[in-house]
Structure 1
Amino acid sequence: MEKFEDRYRQAQMQKYECLLFDLDDTLYPLSSGIAKECRKNIEDYMVEKLGIDKSKIDDLCNLLYKNYGTTMAGLRAIGYDFDYDKYHSFVHGRLPYENIKPDPVLRSILLSLPYRKIIFTNADKIHAAKSLSRLGLEDCFEGIICFETLNPIHKNTVSDDEDDVEFVGSSSSTNTSTTTSSSSYEIFDIVGHFANSNPISALPKTPVVCKPQEQAIERALKMANVNPQRTMFFDDSVRNIQAGKRVGLHTVLVGTSQRVKGADYALESIHNIREALPELWEVELKSEVVYSGQVAVETSVTA
């Protein structure tokens, strides 16, 4: 009898316990145009609210995104201070959400997956809620880990989990209600920094916690109370996927069928999950078969 119980428990132990999903350009396609409009709104914010010369926007945005994960995190790192909620309202508030269409096929796939399912996005909670509502997926996830989850307060210093490096131009630890002119702060010239073939200073760190920082992923896993070795992470960003792999996650790159270093799987579309990852459903069949066998044994012994 003990032998059958051991086999039953072993079969019941799922390889995965949680599926962690990015949102933008992962649960809906890049072709929606949301990312393009979001980039435009960020550029407009930098010009209209932070007073940055329009001619410098392209180079600045590219460097901030490349080195800090998000343009917002980069802006805070180099010395700009602003209200987070107002930033998100400006950047996301004017997005064409009508471009995100209901996805009953994806909804059916998600509901059939026998695991905990959690959204993990760098976006703010309002954007996440609107996007999921447009997709018709708002009830498919246990919870959402978003910007506010990882950044509960407005910081002017690097996270306590990192080296204690003072944030450039810090003046207050509270979230200001009005946008502060960039002239009030010492702005780090990141464009000049990379133009110098032998820069003498290090890049300032950001107080914003976001992907692809390993710290952000580890914090999300801790909040969700999941084991990275039993968690599968879906994201459209190669950097995020590679960071996830470094902290022990099983990784799925979404948006291309070309698997890159750090990605265990690559999906052209999130809709390809069932074909590419049939193992996610096999646990149900395996459990049913072993369970029915155990019942038969117990019944015969009882008789």
Structure 2
Amino acid sequence: MDAVEISAEAKCECLLFDMDDTLYPMSTGLNVECRRNIEEYMVERLHMEEKEVPRMCVELYEEYGTTMAGLKALGFEFDNDDFHQYVHGRLPYENLKPDPVLKTLLLSMPQRKMIFTNADKAHAARVLRRLGLEGCFDRIICFETLNPSEIQAASDSSFLLENEKNCAHSDDSSASESIESTKRRCPRILCKPSIEAFQATINIAAINPERTIFFDDSARNVASAKKIGFTTAIVGKEMLVPGADFAVNSIHNIREALTMLREHGKEEQIEQVLPPRGVETAVLA
């Protein structure tokens, strides 16, 4: 390993990725179909007024992070698994195609690689399988990770306590608060872009945000990640957004982002827009 590679690894130990519309382009149409399924669920299963649903769906998403989190906060009672099956189970996964370029790139990089998604584990598994990216990530932080059932929470408590001592980058009080909140099963759903969701992910996965690059297509998620100390990259954009260190037209620009970090470091204002490489298809936003 040469001096350049050592320098890059010293500044970045982990790559943390959003999944939907980040690992694949928005042009696949899954986002639109997901939104349609959520609205149908609100009408068919929760018996909400159809004409009010589109507006309410957006408002809840904006205020609570996800429409599902907003519905729970308003007191609607429904089974989490049923919601996810209805919303994700009918998506056109056939629109997702294997991405051997991304797979080769991910497997060639020595950093830990993880996914942080608000979606459920079944959806994450389907997406990674269709993209041909199974085995490329060390861990997946998903809905069930941050919002375990009471049975799962009990079995996971020892794991969380064990990881508390590994979080040297986080003070003891914040680590304890995150773990206790998970065990208490707070009725509020934990999800991006809340700072609490990022802190819980840091503690559970034992990652140091100061040595991690976070990739996401959502400007508000990027802003939250920046507040807690991550180096950040907005994906699928041609312009920087507040809190973003990089604007990455294509997820295939991971290596270029690492190069910029190596050359400038976090002590400088990086703010680089990385165009798609010639062999890539730009992510549409």
1:212 aligns with 2:193: yes
Q: Percent identity?
A: 56
What's the CA shift string for 1:74-97, capped at 9, x where partnerless?
000111011000100000000000
Between the two proteins, the alignment pairs up a number of residues equal to: 232
Change (3 A) 1:106 1:236: same
Larger RCO: Structure 1 or Structure 2 (Cα < 8 Å, ≥ 6 residues apart)?
A: 1
* Structure 1 unaligned regions, length at least 5: 1-6, 155-159, 163-172, 175-204, 283-303
What does 1:229-248 align with in structure 2 at a 5 Å threshold? 229-248=210-229
Change (3 A) 1:208 1:236: same
d(CA) in 1 for partners of 2:187, 2:198? 16
TM-score by length of 2: 0.76
What's the CA shift string for 1:39-82, capped at 9, x where partnerless?
00000000000000100011101110110110000000111011
Letter in 2 for 1:93: G
Change (3 A) 1:278 1:11: closer
What corresponds to 2:141 in structure 1?
A: 145
d(CA) in 2 for partners of 1:278, 1:225? 24
Deviation of the 1:274 alpha carbon: 3.0
- Larger Rg belongs to: 1
Deviation of the 1:104 alpha carbon: 0.4
* Structure 2 unaligned regions, length at least 5: 151-175, 179-183, 264-285
CA contact 2:116–2:142 (8 Å) conserved in 1: yes
CA contact 2:146–2:200 (8 Å) conserved in 1: yes
Runs of 4+ in 1 over 6 A off after TM superposition: none
What's the CA shift string for 1:95-150, capped at 9, x where partnerless?
00000110001111111111000010000000000000000001100010000000
What corresponds to 1:127 in structure 2?
A: 123
What does 1:138-287 align with in structure 2 at a 5 Å threshold? 138-153=134-149, 161=177, 207-279=188-260
d(CA) in 1 for partners of 2:9, 2:29? 41
What corresponds to 1:183 in structure 2?
A: none
What's the CA shift string for 1:228-272, capped at 9, x where partnerless?
101110000000000000000110000102011100001111122
Change (3 A) 1:12 1:50: closer
1:86 aligns with 2:82: yes
Change (3 A) 1:133 1:280: farther
d(CA) in 1 for partners of 2:118, 2:21? 12
What corresponds to 1:136 in structure 2?
A: 132
Deviation of the 1:280 alpha carbon: 7.0
d(CA) in 2 for partners of 1:68, 1:12? 36
Residue 15 of structure 2: SS of its match in structure 1?
A: strand
Change (3 A) 1:44 1:161: farther
CA contact 2:8–2:261 (8 Å) conserved in 1: no
Letter in 1 for 2:26: L
CA contact 1:245–1:251 (8 Å) conserved in 2: yes
CA RMSD, Structure 1 to Structure 2 (Å): 2.6
What's the CA shift string for 1:14-54, capped at 9, x where partnerless?
10111100000000000000000000000000000000010
What corresponds to 1:28 in structure 2?
A: 24
Letter in 1 for 2:222: I
TM-score by length of 1: 0.71
Change (3 A) 1:36 1:11: closer
